[in-house]
Amino acid sequence: MASHTRSNSFPSRAHPIIEEANEQLCRLRSSAATTTSSSSISHKLSGLQDLHECVERLLQLPLNQQATAQKKHQKCTNELLDGSLRLLDVCSTAKEALLQTKACLQDLQSIIRRRGCESGVLTSEVRKYLTSTKMVKKTIQKAMVNTRSTFSSLNKETECISIVNTLRNVEAITLSVFESLFSFISGPKASTSWSLVSKMMRSKRVACEEEAEINEFAEVDAALKSVKSADNVQNQLNNLESCIQDQEEGLECLFRQLIKTRVSLLNILNH
């Protein structure tokens, strides 16, 4: 019996864009196991933007446009649209979480600049900040649950055409990076927050050794909970603001790229 090749398979020698996408996927998977820090997350967000730019070019290949245009692949191509919308929703949640945190942060900074560390006023504002950020963290925890649920369902999907399988992998690694970002913003659990205060009071040498265990969000929480004895609150707030700014910029660039990719999908499917 004569053998038949699958019409929806890539050629044996992959197109350079396909190879590029696979290389970027491998790099992001490798970085997923690294220590979560502000710089590592910013690096991953930049990597995601490069990956999704590559995806947009991947969608323009005639082979993929022909495959996605076929009616028999409609279910698979609808999955692509659903996936692009999921990523936009998660990205929007992350942007909103950072925006709300920054607004609370700037209010607190303004009070400190005007009133210094007057205990009565500052204590009240610190309480407001911690209450507001606690609500942000609850939203993030809910988003993390949804992200993990989506990731689990992706792994159980049946085989589909090659472009869908590739984008399924892209969605999975993107969700993984967003989960790292959510974990970073959420910081440690409340039960460990006071141990962070004690870490801040230790010697400079020990603090440097444990730096990888504390992120800017956690440092601010710890500093504010020991505000009467910590004299570096303003520095911690400035560091956190800078961290948020970097991540906001990365998310905004990624969000714009996700929109462009979705528009490309819609154009292909409506062609």
Q: Is 136 helix (H, G, I), strand (E, B) or coil?
A: helix
- 3 belongs to a structural domain: no
- 158 belongs to a structural domain: yes
- 86 belongs to a structural domain: yes
Which range, 35-44, 91-100, 150-159, is most confident?
A: 91-100
Confidence of residue 6 (pLDDT cuts 50, 70, 90): very low
- 7 belongs to a structural domain: no
Q: Which domain holds residue 30?
A: 16-269
Residue 140: is its pLDDT beyond 80?
A: yes
- 164 belongs to a structural domain: yes
Number of separate domains in the chain: 1
pLDDT digits 0-9 by tens, 237-261: 888 999 999 999 999 999 999 999 9
Rounded mean pLDDT, 170-175: 90
Q: Report pLDDT for 10.
A: 42
- 9 belongs to a structural domain: no
- 96 belongs to a structural domain: yes
Rounded mean pLDDT, 39-65: 89
Q: Report pLDDT for 7.
A: 43
pLDDT digits 0-9 by tens, 72-125: 667 777 777 888 898 999 999 999 999 999 998 888 888 877 766 555 667 777
Q: What is the pTM of this model?
A: 0.78
Residue closest to 153 by CA, chosen among 250, 98, 79, 226: 79
Phi, psi of 210 (to 5 degrees): -100, 10
Phi, psi of 174 (to 5 degrees): -65, -45
- 184 belongs to a structural domain: yes
Residues ≥6 apart with Cβ < 8 Å to 252: 95
